[in-house]
């Protein structure tokens, strides 16, 4: 893995996201990296990110999938364009739809591994598949349709 | 609306959820109520629940939909069985799948209204459709497949 995460390349005005913005002091600070053609993020939930005793809250899992996927969409778009991440104009994506299948309860107290794969990519839209694993077992799988951020949403 | 929310009837050992558990001091404390055949929850995001400046974080929206839907699944199951909520054995549901369409950016700084409708109900499975509105405009729509909590997940 390289040292700098996808999210570290986002310009400051796009770095306030609760899931992955480095400037959001309350947030999750999700960090995604390339590992070959796969994007990877590691995340250890807090003890209070609980659904039932012993299991991770599903809303957190959806959040992790969401931000890892939009980050992957951004990184994959730079890669496809042959551009370095962080160069302007920013290629930044928002979520059009999110689907999560909770395959089995996700154990709390261990590090989770998210792996993303680009299923489809065009200039305007990227579809990313993400798995969430705990101790080598896939607990949830998500599919995110990410679309290029509309100009009117740019701060 | 009645005074006691669906989630207030959950037994203590099932009330630790980050999204809706009354015993989770870090959580969102989502509260859902019947309004006729529709379930309703109101929620005002914190200023740090941000995606981009001015807009609500999509992962939070997914979380609200998730907990409002599983709460609705529980309440609808009690209603269908002609039982009072809170009576034993607890009818409690977990999320098998969650789908969210983000129709338009959700403005930050206003109260959000979630409305749930039961699309399908059987003893084992309840499908709930949830809309999330801000100032009268639907910003996101979700569909949750909720399944009866497996015995092995009961704490």
A18 with B60: Cβ contact below 8 A: yes
Average pLDDT over residues A108-118: 98
Contact A51 B18 (CB under 8 A): yes
Q: Which three-class secondary structure string do you get for B67-87?
A: HHHHHHHHHHHHHHHCCCCCC
Q: What is the pLDDT of residue B155?
A: 62
Shortest CA distance from A145: residue in chain B: B101
Per-residue model confidence (pLDDT) at position B90: 87
Which H helix or E strand runs over B39? Answer: strand B38-43
Residues of A in contact with B46 (CB under 8 A): 26
Nearest CA in chain B to A66: B59
Per the CB < 8 Å rule, is B98 touching A95?
A: no
* pLDDT above 60: residue A1: no
Q: Do B58 and A66 touch (CB under 8 A)?
A: yes
Tell me the nearest-neighbour CA distance from A65 into chain B, angstroms: 9
Question: For chain A, what is the mean pLDDT?
Answer: 94
Predicted-assembly ipTM surpassing the 0.90 threshold: yes
Q: Is the peptide bond before B11 cis (omega within 30 degrees of 0)?
A: no
What stretches in chain B show pLDDT beneath 50?
Answer: 1
**Among the partner residues B27, B46, B100, nearest to A97 by beta-carbon distance:** B100
Q: At what angle do helices A58-81 and B58-81 cross, to 10 degrees?
A: 140
């Amino acid at each position: 893995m390289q040292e700098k995460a996808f999210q570290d390349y986002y310009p400051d005005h796009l770095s306030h996201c609760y899931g992955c913005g480095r400037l959001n002091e309350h947030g999750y600070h999700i960090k995604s990296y390339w590992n070959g053609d796969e994007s990877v993020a590691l995340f250890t939930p807090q003890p209070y990110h609980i659904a039932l005793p012993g299991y991770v809250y599903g809303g957190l899992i959806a959040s992790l999938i969401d931000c890892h996927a939009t980050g992957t969409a951004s990184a994959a778009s730079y890669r496809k364009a042959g551009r370095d991440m962080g160069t302007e104009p920013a290629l930044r994506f928002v979520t059009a739809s999110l689907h999560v299948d909770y395959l089995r309860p996700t154990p709390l107290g261990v590090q989770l591994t998210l792996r993303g794969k680009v299923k489809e990519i065009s200039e305007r839209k990227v579809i990313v598949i993400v798995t969430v694993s705990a101790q080598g077992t896939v607990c949830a799988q998500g599919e995110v349709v990410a679309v290029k951020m509309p100009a009117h949403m740019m701060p």
